[in-house]
Amino acid sequence: MRILLAEDDAETATYVQRGLSELGHVVTRVENGEDALHLAVTETFEALILDRMMPGMEGLDVLRRLRAAAVQVPVIVLTAKGGISDRVSGLDAGADDYLVKPFALAELVARLNALARRPPISEVVTRMEVGDIVLDVLRRSVTRAGRVLHLQPREFSLLEVLMRNSGRVVTRTMFLEQVWGFHFDPQTNIVESHLSRLRAKLRANFPDDPIETIRGAGYRMRTDD
Amino acid sequence: MTSLRTSAAYRIAFTYAAAFAAAVLLLGIAVYLAADLEFRRQRDQAISEEVADLARERDPRELEQEIAGREATRPTDSFGYALFDLQGRRIAGALDTPRPALGFSMIVFQDPVEGPDAARAKAVDLAGGRRLVVAVDSEAIEEIDETILTLFGIAFGVVLVIGAAGALILGRYLRARLSAISATTNAIIAGDANQRVPVGPRGDEFDVVATGINTMLDRIDGLMENLRQVSSDVAHDLRTPLLRLRNELEQVGKAEGSAERAIELGDDLLKLFAAILRIAEVEGGGLEQDFASVDLSSLAETVCDGFLPAVYDSDRTLSWSIVPSISVSGDRELLAQAMANLLDNAIVHTPPGTSIVLGLNAVDGMACLFVADNGPGVSPRDSARLTRRFFRGEASRTTPGNGLGLSLVAAVAHAHGGTIAVDGSQGLRVTISLPLLQK
């Protein structure tokens, strides 16, 4: 994946660049808003990682100008400000996701993957199939190998998130945000408890678990390919 | 006397007294002028009537007799009469004056007692070239004018004295009330932070200001106390996890999994800082501008539903009774985090088998949300300190957590204009009351 990284803090930038390069991504690094805007408009990237606080043009200004210029590249905003209102302003400016520093690289990678392959909003997927599991969003029904599974509403939402990101890691905070709308991580691991119930239901009478735990990162829905 | 000039209290009081005196002076001048004018008008009218009355007498002899008669019967201070012939000789009347011009004029006549004297006269011409003059001594009006002026002068003097005395008393009063406030602030500046402005029993403007200042001082005191406590607690409480992190790092390369454990310890430290920052943000205020209507009932439902499997997995039970459609003005994220912290605590600080209950209802315009458990509870001494940052009861020294959970709950409750109550007598019951959304 071609990624533009706009980050003025050399240490963070090196850390992110090294981590993403090891995963096979091509990272172009800039250190200020003007360069970020120039490159994002003139070249093609699959994702943009934008620091909020940069010398010269601020990250959110870059973002607003990009969106005004109809550049629809997925953007993750990085910020040292974990404030309650900061997230809203970031998303308002057109960010697709928002990550508060300091963050784990695994978190950034998971979110980057989720964004980069997200289908355009015009194609709303209402029926998903992964392996022998079929999820119908409109009828709110799930079957495995044709057998109907009775899921609780939260379990259904968890499975929906996993299936939309099948083959990719979904982190605990991504679950908390997308299933419950919580941007904090409770001390009690509520995601794991729900997931273990979901997995038990999916696994019942089947030899394999379609969901795997990725240590230190999150969970992933297995795909056949 | 310099204090009199520089004092705003005296300046205000004296300015008011001076303005009042000026108003009285203006009023006096106006009354004097109006009265004087009216007296002169009435006198002229009386003269005109007298002249007209006499002029009706056609017969010269009769007229002379009439004049003589009136002079004889009327008191001396009344009209004076004179009748002149064509040559200007006085042929009747006792008014000793040269022949005046026609109409009203001021004349000088010879008073038999006082000598030359001023008078107001009116002259008309009669048949046969005779000229009839009726005059009134000016003295009467001058005396009235003088009386008015004297009375007014005395009254004005009294006004000045009362005004000055009142201004002095009022100025002293204002200064005394204000100096009570400034004495307190000076004492606080000098370092005695426990001083408070005395508040009178009447609840007047000064008392309102004094109460406001005292409330502000209490708030500052609370914040200062918080700051003192936090800075020492942060230093103290961060040493332990840092020490553990350091020890774990020492084991890297020697013991299996120590690198991962070190990362976990680092993450815990970051979470601790995030919690401190979050509390600081919530306590800092200014969040109201982003407040929106939050359906607390459905949010509580969501949180309970989210926690249910985890509570069950920890061998405790969770039940809830939530009155539907209770809304508050607030921040959904913070309110959810407050509820989550309360449930986290109920799970971590109770033995397995504990029942946890979350309740939400509306009482007296407040949304009351409580989380209660039937665990061991806390001592009354500890319940009062439970919301303090980093406070951890003796029994929970070894359980996970950073002692910030309830601090955030308290901060969130206060940020939403609500209160928090902790009751540790039978299990632990924490209640937060938030003002209901005004519809």
Output the domain CATH number for residue B421.
Answer: 3.30.565.10
B52 and B104 share one domain: yes
- Rounded to 5 degrees, φ, ψ at B293 are -70, 125
If asked whether residues B268 and B305 sit together in one domain, one would say no
The answer to the question of residue B264 being in a domain is yes
Chain B residues with beta carbon closer than 8 angstroms to that of A84: 281, 287, 290, 331, 333-334
Element (H, E) at B261: helix B258-284
B11 and B74 housed in the same domain: yes
B253 plus B302 within the same structural domain: no
What is the C-alpha to C-alpha distance for residues A135 and A141, in angstroms, rounded to an integer?
6
pLDDT of residue B410: 92
The pLDDT assigned to B202 comes to 86
Residue B263 lies in a domain: yes
Size of interface A-B (CB pairs under 8 A): 72
Q: Do B143 and B54 fall within a single domain?
A: yes
CB count within 10 Å of CB B130 equals: 17
- B259 CB neighbours in chain A (<8 A) are none
% chain A with pLDDT above 70: 94
**Structural domain boundaries enclosing B96:** 1-195
Interchain CB distance below 8 Å, A188 and B340: yes
For A107, phi then psi, to 5°, come to -65, -45
Q: Which residue from B minimizes the CA distance to A175?
A: B306
Q: Which residues of B touch A193 (CB under 8 A)?
A: 309-310, 312-313
Look at B123 and A92; give whichever has higher pLDDT.
B123
Q: Which residues in chain B touch residue A217, judged by CB atoms under 8 angstroms apart?
A: none
> In the prediction, which pLDDT does B257 show?
84
Q: Which CATH class is domain A2-116?
A: alpha beta
> Taking the CB of residue B31, how many other CB atoms lie within 10 A of it?
12
- Closest residue, chain A, to B402 (C-alpha): A187
Find tokens 């000055």 and name the residue: B164
Mean pLDDT over the full length of chain A:
87
CB contact under 8 A, B277 and A180: no
Give the CA distances from residue B352 to residues B227, B342, B356, B374, in Å, rounded to whole numbers and listed in that order: 36, 17, 11, 11
Does B279 share its domain with B304? no
Q: B344 and A193 in contact by Cβ < 8 A? A: no
The answer to whether A200 contacts chain B (CB < 8 Å) is: no
User: Could you report the average pLDDT of every consecutive run of 10 residues in chain B (439 residues)?
Assistant: 71 87 90 91 90 83 84 73 84 83 85 81 85 86 88 90 90 88 89 85 88 90 82 77 89 86 86 83 81 93 94 94 94 92 91 94 93 88 75 64 83 92 89 88
Residue at B3 is within a domain? yes
Q: Is the ipTM of this complex over 0.95?
A: no
Measured CA to CA, the distance from residue B304 to residue B318 in angstroms comes to 8
Q: What pairs with residue B103 in β-bridges?
A: B123
Mean pLDDT, to the nearest integer, of A111-138? Answer: 81
Whether residues B271 and B369 fall in one domain: no
Give domain status of residue B75, yes or no. Answer: yes
Determine the Cα–Cα distance for residues A120 and A126; give it in Å rounded to an integer.
Answer: 14
A105 touches chain B (CB under 8 A): no
Are residues B269 and B174 part of one domain? no
Q: Are residues B251 and B302 in the same domain?
A: no
| CATH entry, A127-221, from 1.10.10.10, 3.30.590.10, 3.30.2320.50, 3.30.1300.10 | 1.10.10.10
Closest A-chain CA to B405: A187
Distance in angstroms (rounded) separating the CA atoms of residues A100 and A97: 10
Q: Determine whether the interchain pair B333/A189 forms a contact, defined as Cβ–Cβ distance below 8 Å.
A: no
Is B400 near chain A, with CB under 8 Å?
yes
Residue ranges per structural domain of chain A: 2-116, 127-221
- Of B195, B228, B263, the one marking the end of a domain is B195
Q: Do B276 and B380 sit in the same domain of this protein?
A: no
Span A30-35, mean pLDDT? 90
* Optimal mutation site among A86, A172, A183, A184, interface B, most CBs of chain B within 10 A: A184
B337 touching A, CB under 8 A? yes
Does the distance separating the beta carbons of A180 and B287 come in below 8 Å?
no
CA quadruple B7, B9, B12, B18: dihedral sign: negative
Question: Residues B277, B293: one domain?
Answer: no
Verify whether the Cβ–Cβ distance B277 to A182 is below 8 Å.
Answer: no
- Give the model's pLDDT for residue B396: 61
Q: Which residues of B touch A194 (CB under 8 A)?
A: 306, 309
> Nearest-CA neighbor of A95 among A54, A51, A45, A160?
A51
Does B150 lie in the same domain as B2? yes
Put simply, the chain B residues between 286 and 305 with a CB less than 8 A from any chain A CB are 287, 289-290, 302, 305
Averaged pLDDT, A66-81 = 87
User: How many Å lie between the alpha carbon of B217 and the closest alpha carbon of chain A?
Assistant: 28
B207 inside domain: no
The whole-number average pLDDT for the span A14-35 is 91
Q: Does B142 touch chain A (CB under 8 A)?
A: no
State which of B171, B195, B219 marks the end of a domain: B195
Q: What is the mean pLDDT of residues A156-172?
A: 91
Q: How far apart are the first and last CA of chain A?
A: 20
Which of B195, B216, B251 is the C-terminal boundary of a domain? Answer: B195
Task: Flag if B281 and A194 touch (Cβ within 8 Å).
Answer: no
For the domain that residue B2 is a member of, what is the CATH number?
3.30.450.20
> Which two tokens mark B154?
């005395």
pTM over 0.80: no
Match 């939530």 to its residue by tokens: B322
How many domains does one find in chain B?
3
pLDDT band at A135 (very low <50, low <70, confident <90, very high): very high
Residues of B in Cβ contact (< 8 Å) with A187: 340-341, 344, 348, 400-401, 405
Cβ contact A154–B336 (<8 Å):
no
Whether B227 maps to a domain, the answer reads no
